[in-house]
Amino acid sequence: MEEAKGLVKHIVLAKFQDDVTTEKIEELINAFANLVNLIPPMKSFHWGKDVSVENLHQGFTHVFESTFESTEAIAEYLDHPAHVEFGNLLLSNLDKILVIDYKPTS
């Protein structure tokens, strides 16, 4: 991963398995959102569902966005035990996932 000082966004696109209930998805989203309280390098968390009329989502239904101060902060987050535990739980309920980190520019 290229070093990036300054604000970095961590984007996760997810498609849940067909048999995952709405209640389970809500539980996972709440657990994801709670990571901001458990992992200091994680500065913010936002999420939403696909609402595009273009139909280019390739099956991805949910977007999760976290903000970090640097790529080093993302590396710390990725290694944190709370993230590792949550990540394993999330992955076991997903059909597809795509993760991108980027540094916003004006």
Active site residues: 77, 80
Do strands 44-49 and 5-16 pair parallel, antiparallel, or not at all (unpaired)? Answer: unpaired
Q: Measuring CA to CA, how many Å separate 40 from each of 6, 36, 63?
A: 16, 7, 21
* Contact between residue 39 and residue 84 where contact means Cβ atoms under 8 Å apart: no
Q: At residue 59, what are phi and psi to the nearest 5 degrees?
A: 95, -15
Rounded CA-CA distance 31/26 in Å is: 9
